[in-house]
Amino acid sequence: MYSNYFGLSEPPFAIAPDPRYLYLSDQHREALAHLLYGIDSNGGFILLTGEVGTGKTTVCRCLLDQLPEHTNVAFILNPKYSVQELLEAICDELDIRAVGEKDSIKGYIDALNRYLLAAHTRGEKTVLIIDEAQNLSVDVLEQIRLLTNLETDSHKLLQIILIGQPELLDKLSRPELRQLNQRITARFHLDALSKEELHAYIQHRLSVAGMEGELFTAATREKLYKLSGGVPRLVNVLCDRALLGAYVKRDTCVDLKTLKKAAEEVMGQPGGTAKPRDYRPVLLLCLLLVAIGWLFTPQFRELIGPQPAALPDDNASGNTIVTAPEAAEPTGEPAGSPGVANATTAVIPPQTTQITQTAPQGEQLDQSVVDEDLSGRFSNPATWQWEQGTDLSLTQVMAFQSLFNRWGLQYDPVSQPVLCTFARQHGLGCLAQNTTFDEFIKLNRPAVMKLFNAQGQEFYATLLEIDGEVAKVSVANELREVRLEELKLWQVNQYLLLWKPPPGYRAPLQPGTTDDMVIWLDRQLAVLQGRDPRSWRRRTYDNALVRQVKRFQSSNNLMIDGVFGPRTAILLNSQTDNTVPRLDGMPRG
């Protein structure tokens, strides 16, 4: 429902274990490495445990994508089976036909043994994965242990991965299961995300869904961590409901109030008996209001004598109280991304919004913030004003048009109401930034920014170029030059820029993952380092390439995490691609 509104290709916080959305934190990478090691070790059990919702099943789905070729997998999702039912399920998963041997435990084991021997002869591995293994009975676990006795003189024929909640550890510690416990060759326990990982997790999922920006404020993320404890599944549920709430309110991001409301809906109110309401304070307040009202009646004024002359009316001097126009109530489904509401109802001619550059009526501006020469070269956002009743949301649409213009594109909000979808159709990505001005300009890209004037009106403009201490800004289709120090005073640290993703880019590249983009990344770094590109077979983002990316991040004052995401890609493009628009005025090829 809210995907189009935020420019997302799909809901980013579904709880289904989609490997595309797997955020590989340090512990998730280590868990995946343990599973791969256990499979390559040729024998024994592999154990993965963790609390509910920490990502065990999703890690396992990612494992399936990275298994070596010629690997046969039996994946058991519902292990509440008897011994015979489990054996039957394994044979069904491996497409083993126990002809004439059904309804017999020995028959299923013999059929499985023949299959494993034939697979081993063909050079194939066979892996049994059992999810929710804490639900297995002791008898079934013992039978699973016996399956590891299917072997040749030098190789185990079946490798088994058990995935379960912490109760599985308690069950395996029983004396009757000590033989199975001793055969576990690799084990790992997944914990909840840390505060830092939570932020990266949210941004990763938004990025996979097409939003390279922040939809959750810092205060919201702090509260989200307290509510969820860092458990990914609970984070997903809360974020999904909070985005729905922001959509209903037509907000551009999730604030603290919206998250708290989402938590009430998802987690419910604390139980307990409601206390009877005390109406005495309300009654006292009503009596007080009645008394105050009586003080201003004619009868009371007659009792206290004649009144002094009225003070002069402030409006008599020509001063007026200006109120902002009421926002139109949204009707129907929103068709655009945040801030572009109503842009689909009419074509916007350039003359719709006009700027005046004078002080507000009846108000004197501090001369230190007014341009020294209003008629000269420089302009000041403090003095950019619109007539009362002007729909200033139109300035955002025109700012987006100016931004796309900088990339050589004509943006029509009527035919393409979803801004980021239009960008993706032309090979570009959207990156929303809620950061300081100095941090933002490090990315060296034109952007739409939010400004305000001395009258308190908020509007949007496009920062096109920066030349020394002077910025070129497009506001309501007018080009203006502004001193940087003055532009910084009248902006609110909200930006949206366009960037050029690498070929095949789907999400930030995490260390240890396999992706064709690895080849592109290595070639770009080779250009900067003056070396030949490497030869790649598995296209895995390995430690050697991670170290090179970290060096690049360090030299460009980025967060040194080895994750190749939008910010790293933007600065890499700045140094290797002369066709992208830049704030420093580099001409496009």
Element (H, E) at 26: helix 26-40
- Average pLDDT (155-178) is 89
Domain chopping of the chain, boundaries: 26-190, 195-266, 350-361+373-499, 517-576
pLDDT on residue 147: 87
Per-residue confidence at 288, pLDDT binned at 50, 70, 90? Answer: low
pLDDT on residue 446: 95
Least confident of 153-157, 280-284, 370-374, 510-514: 370-374
Residue type, 386: W
Residue type, 559: M
> 440 and 495 in contact (C-beta within 8 Å)?
yes
Centre a 10 Å sphere on the Cβ of residue 183 and count the other Cβ atoms it contains. 14
- Average pLDDT (410-428) is 85
pLDDT on residue 274: 36
C-alpha closest to that of 159 among 184, 131, 126: 126
- Average pLDDT (385-402) is 88
By the 10 Å C-beta count (0-12 exposed, 13-18 middle, 19+ buried), 269 is classed as: exposed
Q: Is the pLDDT of residue 367 over 60?
A: no
Between the alpha carbon of residue 300 and those of residues 288, 291, 512, the distances in Å are 16, 11, 83
Least confident of 67-71, 294-298, 336-340, 573-577: 336-340
Residue type, 516: D
Query: What percent of the chain shows pLDDT beyond 90?
Result: 25
- Average pLDDT (132-157) is 85
Least confident of 69-73, 294-298, 396-400: 294-298
> 208 and 63 in contact (C-beta within 8 Å)?
no
Per DSSP, the residues of 27-44 read HHHHHHHHHHHHHHTTSS
d(C-alpha 474, C-alpha 476), whole Å = 7
Q: Which long-range contacts (CB under 8 A, 24 or more apart) does 310-315 make?
A: none
d(C-alpha 247, C-alpha 215), whole Å = 11
The torsion defined by the Cα of 533, 535, 538 and 544, in degrees rounded to 10, comes to -50
Between the alpha carbon of residue 375 and those of residues 337, 366, 480, 489, the distances in Å are 37, 18, 12, 21
Q: Is the pLDDT of residue 314 over 60?
A: no
d(C-alpha 418, C-alpha 338), whole Å = 9
Instruction: Tabulate helix, strand, coil % of the chain (nearest 5).
Output: 40, 15, 45
- Average pLDDT (451-455) is 91
> 44 and 157 in contact (C-beta within 8 Å)?
no
Q: Which of 69-78, 193-202, 463-472, 577-586 has the highest mean pLDDT?
A: 463-472
Per-residue confidence at 467, pLDDT binned at 50, 70, 90? Answer: very high
- Average pLDDT (285-291) is 53
Report domain 26-190's class.
alpha beta
d(C-alpha 446, C-alpha 474), whole Å = 11
Per-residue confidence at 356, pLDDT binned at 50, 70, 90? Answer: low
Of 587 and 351, the one with more pLDDT: 587
pLDDT on residue 101: 57
Phi first, then psi: give them for residue 7, nearest 5 degrees.
75, 30
pLDDT on residue 312: 32
Q: Which of 61-65, 163-167, 319-323, 333-337 has the highest mean pLDDT?
A: 163-167
pLDDT on residue 588: 47
d(C-alpha 294, C-alpha 289), whole Å = 9
For residue range 547-566, list pLDDT tens digits in order: 999 999 999 988 888 888 88
pLDDT on residue 381: 93
d(C-alpha 58, C-alpha 235), whole Å = 15
For residue range 31-49, list pLDDT tens digits in order: 888 888 777 776 678 899 9
- Average pLDDT (228-245) is 92
pLDDT on residue 103: 66
Of 309 and 431, the one with more pLDDT: 431
d(C-alpha 337, C-alpha 335), whole Å = 7
Query: What percent of the chain shows pLDDT beyond 70?
Result: 79
d(C-alpha 562, C-alpha 542), whole Å = 10
pLDDT on residue 68: 75
d(C-alpha 492, C-alpha 75), whole Å = 52
d(C-alpha 29, C-alpha 542), whole Å = 12
Q: Is the pLDDT of residue 578 over 70?
A: yes
Chosen CATH of 517-576 out of 3.40.190.80, 2.10.109.10, 3.40.50.10490, 1.10.101.10: 1.10.101.10
d(C-alpha 28, C-alpha 555), whole Å = 28
What residues does 463 pair with on adjacent strands? Answer: 447, 473
pLDDT on residue 369: 38
d(C-alpha 111, C-alpha 121), whole Å = 16
Q: Is the pLDDT of residue 308 over 60?
A: no
Q: Which of 102-111, 414-423, 526-535 has the highest mean pLDDT?
A: 526-535
pLDDT on residue 294: 47
Q: Which of 5-9, 234-238, 368-372 has the highest mean pLDDT?
A: 234-238
- Average pLDDT (534-546) is 88
Q: Is the pLDDT of residue 278 over 70?
A: no
Of 237 and 213, the one with more pLDDT: 237
Element (H, E) at 514: none
Q: Which of 158-162, 247-251, 340-344, 480-484 has the highest mean pLDDT?
A: 480-484
Q: What is the mean pLDDT of the chain?
A: 78
- Average pLDDT (130-135) is 90
Residue 317 contacts by C-beta under 8 Å, 6 or more apart in sequence? 362
- Average pLDDT (202-206) is 87
Per-residue confidence at 259, pLDDT binned at 50, 70, 90? Answer: very high
Which CATH fold would you assign to the domain 350-361+373-499?
Answer: Cathepsin B; Chain A (3.90.70)
Residue 183 contacts by C-beta under 8 Å, 6 or more apart in sequence? 44, 45, 145, 148
- How many Cα neighbours within 13 Å face the side chain of 465? 15
- Average pLDDT (341-347) is 30
pLDDT on residue 102: 57
Domain 195-266 classified CATH 1.10.8? yes
Residues in the chain: 589
- Reduced to 3 states, what is the DSSP secondary structure of residue 547? helix
